Structure 1
Amino acid sequence: MSEVLLRRLLAGNLRDPDSGEGIAVPTRKVTIAPSLRGGEAALIADLGLGSRLALIADPTTWQVLGARVSGALAARFTVTPVILPERPHADMETVQRIRAATSLAEGLVAVGSGTINDLAKYAAFLDRKPYACFGTAPSMNGYTSVNAAIMDGGVKKSLPAAAARGVFLDVDILAKAPRRMIAAGFGDSICRPTAQADWLLAHLLLDRPYRALPFQLLAEDETALLASPEGLLSGDPEAITRLARTLVMSGFGMTICGGSYPASQGEHLIAHFLEMRGDPAGANFHGEQIAVTTLTMARIQGETLRLEQPRLAPAPATIGTFLSFYGADVGATCWASFAGKLLSGERLAAVNHRLTQDWPEIRQAIRAVHRSATALESTLRRCGAPTRPSDIGLSDERYAEAVLHAREVRDRYTFLDLAADTGTLTRLVGATPVPAQ
């Protein structure tokens, strides 16, 4: 059924359950196959990337798949490899380096996973060039999204990016990825319930837009993966295929919604804060961080949902405190985002009135999509994913700071905000600044 949903989505034959309208995505082709060897050029040929292609990789992804793809494409195209340094950073400096190196190319082909893909699709967006991607690991959900996570001026931003015209995933290659990267992909996907709960909260409490379709796209494969994550550790082709399809569908969910809302909420804010403040555990994969932060958000959501009658009493916040804590440039950027969701005066009164009137219904709706931290932790452990801050090299104090301040870096209203404004967040972090045991 999940494979059928993917085919219908690409063909434009899927209907939105909320509106009944047809759904279209800009990606033309997604191929998830046991092996793509020998067919690489044919996959690219009808995508309209032009005759001069730049292939973006790093030394590892070049060795794993890039050299093979480059050789195959060279039979039909002029190919210029652009090999970035090992473990490149997704920042503006690297984007500009790619743009300079690909100035003569008509199209870009990324060979890699998270960082390589983000860099290539953002460079493609800036230069208005088409691009496609050959994935090397089922480690993140950005292959089919139209946003890129880029560090800009010390702030981690989700920026508009080009849509991949084609995404090609060789299951044999994916299954040979380091177990940590596979577990990271599972970690990046397991935040679905916390992201959905946060997004639904903003919808029910503040009337923010919300859509059910992104989560319906994931349901079948997610259920199977949660029931038997051990197959990912053993490299089982069926499990790897399900994870790859889940990540692809998650990316499409973001594309359909015009932003990362269905896949990036409070759990990602904590990770973004850590990166902005110079996460000392820089060797971690993004999905490893999200595995840990998802458990934190699940616990915060669960505790906040236990409140019988929450009432918001936000602590005063000023641009001065932001500038003092973050510095002038980053502080001003964060304040500009945070100020948009500040609740005060009539707006605060209206939200408190809604909580008084509708909290039982709001709580019931969110509980229907929420998963407990205990259940999620058990599943992550069975997959070999990290579950505690110490697993990713963070002290309890450093992690507690991130949980307390993460809501300040974006304008998204999440359970971090509701918990902070009801006094729940300080109580939870002060008592146990780590995920549930």
Structure 2
Amino acid sequence: MTGADSIIAELLAGRWRDPETGTAVSVPIRQIAIAPSLAGSEAELVKPLGLGRRLSLVSDPITQERLGTRVERALASIAAVERVALPDRPHADDATVERVRQATAGADALIAVGSGTINDLCKYAAFLDGKPYAVFGTAPSMNGYCSANAAITVGGLKKSLPARVPAGVFLDLGILAAAPPRMIRSGLGDSLCRPTAQFDWLLSHLLLGTPYRLAPFALLAADEGALLEEAGALVAGDAAAMARLARTLVLSGLGMVICDGSYPASQGEHLVSHYVEMMEGGRLPESFHGEQIGVTTLSLARLQQRLIEGPPPLLRATAIAPGDLKRHFGAGRGEACRKEWAGKALDAPRAELLTARLAQDWGRLRTRLAAVMRPVALLERALEATGAPRRASELGWPGALYRTALIRARQTRNRYTALDLAGDAGLLEGFAIEEAG
């Protein structure tokens, strides 16, 4: 059993120790199985979870063909299974959530067969209806299998909403390795942001005193180095590489669970991606979430590097022009963004206070921040080795859009990131112009 496998087992048993406090940490997930093959053991895995006699298996045409039929037949030996057939490429939005809820109204539990979208739909529907669910993954495309939140678009605004933690997570490495290469690259991209997310979360803690924990990052340490250095093996069918990615995705989700939020895995890089999807998603070439995060992570990593290599930032009051957000985002979304941004905006006295603190403690602060980073070149090489996009233009995002996203993304959520530090120091617009090419 590898170090990461041992960590997963200890978390499930409630024996893993928080590296800062020494206290035992447990998670509400009852079973996690990551194995070269799970064929023939599906019923054996699900039965101990006690999900009930009526199960709704939720899949789309692709995931049903790849794994759903196998799981459906196996679970028929322990329960009455009714398939809920979603359309090809379903959307994780409020309308589809309601469709899932209606279709699963008579079920005791939900079985998700899929990856990001299907998992989010099931975990949020299960949360709303107070039902358990389990998931059989079909692609290593994202880190949300174990998390307690779901990315759901509500009224056109993508939100991270509280959701049901799965009773069981089952990842067949053979199925994952057979996923389309773009989905494997997406999983790597979603994992790439550990350094930028940790930097942003630590930055907020050091400057503003917001909560911060080392535990979710300690969970990932055993696999991260090899995952990045040997990323090319993921698309070459290497079983050990796929196991590393699967464990990383699972442990990233568990990190969010123990922190009661997406803080350790979603910061400035996700804000940029969410901005683009919110404003132009339906008009852009299709791209996976993790592909986007790979690109935006490189941008945030470059911005963070520039910040710590420079002098102490000189901050000024955050400029929020009356009516600007409503004009830019629209009335409803603009008001929501105004409330989010106002929660972290700096007035003149606080900007002055933080500037003085940065001037006094900059050496210590940037040493702490640099310690959690990875070289930008390493992150870029990992994406390049798998053929993943590295620039916004490779996603089909126009330069003007990406420039605006880098500037405006911080206005969409009350999380203080490197985007805010650079913005309040008057450095963000110049960086965005350079980054967008």
The TM-score bracket by the shorter chain reads: over 0.9
For the residues of structure 2 that align with 1:311 and 1:394, how far apart are their CA atoms?
Answer: 32
> What amino acid does structure 2 have at the position aligned with 1:228?
E
Counterpart in the other structure of 1:21:
23
Q: How does 1:319-398 map to 2 (within 5 A)?
A: 319-398=322-401
Task: Give CA deviations for 1:372-412 in whole Å, capped at 9, x if unaligned.
Answer: 32221112101221101121111111111111100011000
Q: How does 1:17-416 map to 2 (within 5 A)?
A: 17-279=19-281, 280-416=283-419
Counterpart of 2:161 in 1: which secondary structure? strand
Query: Which 4+ runs in 1 deviate beyond 6 A?
Result: none
Counterpart of 1:270 in 2: which secondary structure? helix
Deviation of 1:371 after TM superposition, in Å, equals: 2.1
Asked whether the equivalents of residues 319 and 332 of structure 1 are also in contact (C-alpha less than 8 Å), the reply is: no
Asked whether the equivalents of residues 316 and 352 of structure 2 are also in contact (C-alpha less than 8 Å), the reply is: no
Counterpart in the other structure of 1:431:
434
CA shift in 2, pair 1:110/1:319, >3 Å = farther
Deviation of 1:215 after TM superposition, in Å, equals: 0.7
Asked whether the equivalents of residues 95 and 122 of structure 1 are also in contact (C-alpha less than 8 Å), the reply is: yes
Q: CA RMSD in A?
A: 1.1
Asked whether the equivalents of residues 381 and 387 of structure 1 are also in contact (C-alpha less than 8 Å), the reply is: yes
Structure 1 residue runs without a partner (length 5+): none
CA shift in 2, pair 1:411/1:319, >3 Å = farther
TM-score (normalizing by structure 1)? 0.98
Deviation of 1:83 after TM superposition, in Å, equals: 1.1
For the residues of structure 1 that align with 2:156 and 2:333, how far apart are their CA atoms?
Answer: 6
Deviation of 1:214 after TM superposition, in Å, equals: 0.7
For the residues of structure 1 that align with 2:171 and 2:320, how far apart are their CA atoms?
Answer: 46
Task: Give CA deviations for 1:113-169 in whole Å, capped at 9, x if unaligned.
Answer: 001000000000000000000000011000000000111112111100000000000
CA shift in 2, pair 1:51/1:339, >3 Å = same
For the residues of structure 2 that align with 1:426 and 1:265, how far apart are their CA atoms?
Answer: 19
Deviation of 1:282 after TM superposition, in Å, equals: 4.8
For the residues of structure 1 that align with 2:411 and 2:45, how far apart are their CA atoms?
Answer: 43
Structure 2 residue runs without a partner (length 5+): none
Deviation of 1:229 after TM superposition, in Å, equals: 0.9
Equivalent pairs: percent with the same residue? 53
Question: In the comparison of the two structures, how many residue pairs are matched?
Answer: 434
Counterpart of 2:110 in 1: which secondary structure? strand
For the residues of structure 2 that align with 1:120 and 1:305, how far apart are their CA atoms?
Answer: 41
Counterpart of 2:343 in 1: which secondary structure? helix
Deviation of 1:347 after TM superposition, in Å, equals: 2.6
Counterpart of 2:111 in 1: which secondary structure? strand
Counterpart of 1:157 in 2: which secondary structure? strand
Counterpart of 2:226 in 1: which secondary structure? helix
For the residues of structure 2 that align with 1:241 and 1:368, how far apart are their CA atoms?
Answer: 27
